[in-house]
A = this chain, B = another copy of it.
Amino acid sequence: MAGHKVKFLPSDRVFVVDEAETLLEAAMKLGVHINASCGGNSACGKCRIKIVEGDAESPRHPTISEVDYDNGYRLACTSRPRSDLVVEIPLESQVDKASLKRKPHRPHILAASDIGELVKGWTAEPAVFKVYLELPPPSIEDNIADVERIKRALRIDHTIDDVSVAFGVLKKMSSLLRDEDWKVTVTLIHFRGGYRLVSIEPGKRHRENYSAVIDIGTTTLCGQLLDLANCSVAKVTEKTANGRDVCTLAESSDYNSQISYGEDVISRIMYARKKGGLKRLQDAVIATVNSVIRELLDIAHVDDGSLSHLVLAGNTTMTHLALGLDPRHIMLAPYTPTVTFVEPVRAAALGIHVGDHVYAYVFPCVASYVGGDIVAGVLGSGIFQREKITLFMDIGTNGEIVLGNKDWLVCASCSAGPAFEGGGIGSGMRADRGAIEQVRINPATYEPMVLTVGRVKPLGICGSGLIDIVAEMLLAGLIDQNGKLRRDAPTKRIRKGDNGCEYVISYGAETQTGRDIVISEVDLDNLIRTKAAVYAGCRVLLDQVGLTFDDVERVVIAGGFGHYIDLERARTIGLLPELPLNRFLFVGNGSLLGARLLSFSEGLMTEAERIARMMTNIELSNSPKFMDEFVAASFLPHTDSRAFPGVLRELKKGRGEGV
Of the residues B143, B178, B323, B367, contact of A368 by C-beta under 8 Å: B143
Of the residues B146, B336, B365, contact of A338 by C-beta under 8 Å: B146
Cβ of A340: which chain B residues have Cβ within 8 Å of it? 144-145, 147-148
Inter-chain contact A325/B171, CB cutoff 8 Å: yes
User: A134-178 toward B: CB 8 Å interface, digit per residue (1/0)?
Assistant: 000011101111111000000000000000110100110111001
Q: How far is the CA of A340 from the CA of B144 in the complex (A)?
A: 8
Shortest Cβ distance from A89 into chain B, in angstroms? 58
Q: Which of A1-9, A341-349, A435-443 contacts B (4 or more CB under 8 A)?
A: A341-349
Cβ of A367: which chain B residues have Cβ within 8 Å of it? 143-145
Inter-chain contact B174/A341, CB cutoff 8 Å: no
Scoring A139, A164, A194, A326 by chain B CB atoms within 10 A of each residue's CB, the highest score goes to A326
Shortest Cβ distance from A486 into chain B, in angstroms? 43
Closest to A147 in B: B339
Cβ of A62: which chain B residues have Cβ within 8 Å of it? none
Scoring A138, A143, A328, A622 by chain B CB atoms within 10 A of each residue's CB, the highest score goes to A143
Of the residues B142, B174, B336, contact of A144 by C-beta under 8 Å: B336
Inter-chain contact A170/B339, CB cutoff 8 Å: yes
Of the residues B140, B145, B175, B342, contact of A622 by C-beta under 8 Å: B140
Inter-chain contact A325/B170, CB cutoff 8 Å: yes
Q: How far is the CA of A250 from the CA of B145 in the complex (A)?
A: 35
A264 contacts B by Cβ under 8 Å: no
Contact A341:B147 (CB < 8 A) given known A138-B334, A167-B349: yes
Shortest Cβ distance from A22 into chain B, in angstroms? 51
Contact A339:B145 (CB < 8 A) given known A140-B333, A326-B175, A619-B140: yes
Cβ of A329: which chain B residues have Cβ within 8 Å of it? 146, 174, 178
Q: How many residues of A contact B (CB 8 A)?
A: 47
Inter-chain contact B336/A138, CB cutoff 8 Å: yes
Shortest Cβ distance from A151 into chain B, in angstroms? 9
Cβ of A339: which chain B residues have Cβ within 8 Å of it? 145-147, 165, 170, 173
Cβ of A194: which chain B residues have Cβ within 8 Å of it? 192
Closest to A191 in B: B192
26 residue pairs A–B, Cβ–Cβ below 8 Å: A138-B336, A140-B333, A140-B335, A140-B619, A142-B334, A143-B335, A143-B336, A145-B337, A145-B341, A145-B367, A146-B339, A147-B338, A147-B340, A147-B341, A148-B340, A148-B341, A164-B343, A165-B339, A167-B323, A170-B323, A170-B325, A170-B338, A171-B326, A173-B339, A192-B193, A192-B194
Scoring A138, A170, A326 by chain B CB atoms within 10 A of each residue's CB, the highest score goes to A170
A324 contacts B by Cβ under 8 Å: yes
- Taking CB atoms and an 8 Å cut-off, the chain A residues in 25-48 that contact chain B are none
